[in-house]
Amino acid sequence: MSQVKYTKDHEYIAVDGDTGTVGITDNAQHKLGDITFVEMPVVGRELKKGESAGVVESVKAASDVYTPVSGTVTEFNPALEDKPELVNEDAESAGWFFKIKIADASELAGLMDRDEYLAYAKEEDE
C-alpha cells in the first residue's frame, strides 16, 4: 500500500517502494478551476526537491508544479495530453502528472501527512 505525502505548494506524492506518483491535490485543482493544459516533465529528467517540474494551466491561472522529492522522472501520464480535465475529475488518482524514482527517501520526512495537509489547507483558506 502506498504512503501519500503533501507539500505546502499543494502537490502530493504517493510513495510505493522507491517510486513516487506526483500530482496536484484536489484542493489545488478546485482553486484553479477548469484545467485546460498540463505540461509534464520528460522521462529521464533529473529533478531536485522543490524544482519546477511542469505547469498546470486553467481558465483562471497558470501554476508551476514542483517536485516534492529529488529523483529521476520515469513516466508521465499520457492521458493528460488529450484530457487535462482528468485533473479536475480525479486529481489524486487518475489525474496524476508524473512518476519519479526517489533519490533520497529521507526527503519525504519534511512533507505533511493527509491530516496535516488538510489542516494546513483549511488554515490557508481562512
Is residue 65 in a domain?
A: yes
| Residue indicated by cell numbers 477548469 | 34
Is residue 57 in a domain?
A: yes
Is residue 115 in a domain?
A: no
Is residue 110 in a domain?
A: no
Is residue 121 in a domain?
A: no
Q: For position 1, what pLDDT does the model report?
A: 54
pLDDT tens string for the chain (126 positions)? 579 999 999 999 999 999 999 999 999 999 999 999 999 999 999 999 999 999 999 999 999 999 999 999 999 999 999 999 999 999 999 999 999 999 999 999 999 999 999 999 999 877
Distance set, CA 109 to CA 10, 17, 37, 46, 125 (Å) = 16, 15, 31, 20, 25
102: closest CA among 66, 67, 69? 69
Which of helix, strand or coil describes residue 26?
helix
State the CATH number of the domain containing residue 26: 2.40.50.100
Domains contained in the chain, number: 1
Give the up-direction half-sphere exposure of residue 1: CA atoms within 13 A in the CB hemisphere. Answer: 0
Q: How far apart are CA 126 and CA 121, in angstroms?
A: 9
C-alpha grid cell, residue 105: 527517501
Is residue 25 in a domain?
A: yes
Q: For position 96, what pLDDT does the model report?
A: 98
- Residue 30: domain span: 3-103
Is residue 78 in a domain?
A: yes
Instruction: Sort residue 7 into left (φ over 0), alpha (ψ -120 to 50) or beta.
Output: beta
Is residue 117 in a domain?
A: no
